Chains A and B, each alone.
Chain A
Amino acid sequence: MSIKLKYKIKRPDFSLDIDITIPSQGITGIFGHSGCGKTTLLRAIAGLEAEKTGTIKIADMLWQDDNFFLEPHKRPIGYVFQEPSLFAHLNIQKNIEYGLKRISTDETKISLDEAIELLGIQHLLKRQPHQLSGGEQQRVAIARALASSPKLLLMDEPLSALDIKRKQEIMPYLESLHDELKIPIIYVSHSPGEIARLADHLLIMEEGKITAAGNVTDLFSRLDLPIAHSDKASAIIEAIVTEHDLEFNLTYLDFPGGRFTVSHKALEINHSVRLRVIARDVSITLEHQTHTSILNIFPAIIEEIIPENESQFMIRLSLSGTPLLCRLTKKSASLLQLSVGKAVFAQVKSVALLS
């Protein structure tokens, strides 16, 4: 089971050249800056672009090749646009039912009630679109896409038109899509934060081409990719809840490179979590510091050092195989005589729990 995308566009001001196969499970993130072609690629998968060539094949369903083109309305997709784009002449319930009514009953995999419940919009059903906030509208748009029981859900920066508060309001719903639905999702974003939280698999796009593909943990820490050089460049670490410390109100999270200590989280033992450690929150010492308030200290090996700008280096550390990024000044690196292969200690000042 996989999704095969081969697509080429050549326009005077824009070109796209994609040839890739992605897994048809979990969330595949497509990351890139605006104008790199990620939206065009998503639209092509939906059949919304004018160039009707290439090869688009979802599992064993052929959607288009050079001699065949399946009309957009015959493709079992759900598409969530950047703006909610609710139908202004229909109330919320009718908006959600729009796609549902147009599929046969034996195609129905997600019921209306399920879609409504998953997005928490029961109380909005009788309202008109213009009476809803942007975040609520986007939740309705997602429910509407789900209610058509898609075999592939395409999401084009569904959070980018919303402010921070609304984003945080929707994020948990997106995470629950990931956990509760078996539908593959392609999620386009230019926000490393959203990708870090949601994606399992990642494609990185630049100027109409895919420059890297792989799992999120690996790609976030690859220093040859732009994502490791953004302001909030960070490592993604998968860990498991192992213990709660009731005396100090802490939770311990184990990963192959050691154990993170974080303030108490109401999570079950053995629950797997995803952590994000921002490169500038990591410092390096040559010896294991004991007189420090920092709890999260791990032995590490320097794997790669590259200059970040005139005064800073970006360093990739390996914590028994788990990558960690560290941004420090060239002066510190010189004082500590850091070099590739050197054994050091990584001190992590703060860590964010993503899920």
Chain B
Amino acid sequence: MLSETDLSALIITLKLASVTTILLILVGTPIAWWLARTQWRFKFILEALVALPLILPPTVLGFYLLVALGPNGPIGGIMQSLGGQSLAFTFSGLVIGSMIYSMPFVIQPLQTAFSNIGQRPFEVAATLRASPIDRFFSIAVPLARPGFLTAIVLGFAHTVGEFGVVLMIGGNIPGETQVLSIAIYDHVEVLEYSQAHWLSGGLLLVSFILLIGVYAYNRRFSLYKNS
């Protein structure tokens, strides 16, 4: 069934997707909140920047990241001068790449969810003595729950499915930076179709079940809100 390298690819993939999703929710929530609430006239520039990974070929993104994170790049250079190592071909590098690659899938559903709440519940909460931070946690977060679920699932699933970016900046080091999608590619290359089937089928099934769960939950939530 699964060879040892396949198993470690699976574990790395799950770890990468989990870490990426958690960090993206932490970083993306304030950004999405700000985008949903700001009146700033140039906010569309930031929105375009957030959406960029949607249309950019992953290899382009991966290439720039490789340059930036490598020993001669601005970020990698700083890391090395601080006594660390360059981030290219490391798990940390993969996380940074994945975060950028999956960013729109986390920020956009959150931004939509926050916008859909409207101004009124926050005004009501303000007249009931809730401070801005209190309003964020007691009103915005619970009312944006379907958005959070969508963001988590899409961010996770999209990271699991990425290929180009991880290949560029992760290399393909088994046990370190080799993820599932690349493992499948390797199997196909050497005509190991049965292993490829196992991994692909499993990925397909898990992704489908995840999405069914999200859509069913969001449907229930919207029914309950509108009835």
Hey, what's the 0/1 contact readout for A268-282 against B, CB within 8 Å counting as 1? 000000000000000
Q: How large is the interface on B (under 10, 10 to 19, 20 to 34, 35 or more residues)?
A: 20 to 34
A160 to B66 alpha-carbon distance, docked (Å): 62
Which residues of A lie under 8 Å from residue B130 when comparing CB positions?
73, 98, 102
What is the distance, in angstroms, from B105's C-beta to the closest C-beta of chain A?
24
Interface size on A, residues (CB 8 A): 26
Q: A87-B121, A102-B134, A130-B224 are in contact. Are A48 and B126 (CB under 8 A)?
A: yes
What is the distance, in angstroms, from B115's C-beta to the closest C-beta of chain A?
16
Q: Which of B128, B139, B226 contacts A144 (CB 8 A)?
A: B128
**Is A81 touching B120 in the complex (CB atoms < 8 A)?**
yes
**Is B129 touching A145 in the complex (CB atoms < 8 A)?**
no
**Secondary structure class of chain B's binding surface, majority of residues:** helix
A72 to B119 alpha-carbon distance, docked (Å): 14
Tally of contacts, chain A with chain B, CB under 8 A: 67
Q: Is A257 an interface residue (CB 8 A)?
A: no
Which residues of A lie under 8 Å from residue B145 when comparing CB positions?
89
Which residues of B lie under 8 Å from residue A130 when comparing CB positions?
224-227
A87 to B123 alpha-carbon distance, docked (Å): 11
Q: Is B30 an interface residue (CB 8 A)?
A: no
A72 to B126 alpha-carbon distance, docked (Å): 6
Q: A89-B143, A99-B129 are in contact. Are A81 and B124 (CB under 8 A)?
A: yes
Nearest-CB residue, chain B, relative to A50: B39
A24 to B123 alpha-carbon distance, docked (Å): 24
**Is B142 touching A48 in the complex (CB atoms < 8 A)?**
no
What is the distance, in angstroms, from B148's C-beta to the closest C-beta of chain A?
13
What is the distance, in angstroms, from A112's C-beta to the closest C-beta of chain B?
13
- Residues on B facing A (Cβ under 8 Å): 120-121, 123-132, 134, 138-139, 142-143, 145, 224-227
- Residues on A facing B (Cβ under 8 Å): 46-48, 71-75, 77-79, 81, 83, 85, 87-89, 98-99, 102-103, 128, 130, 144-145, 148
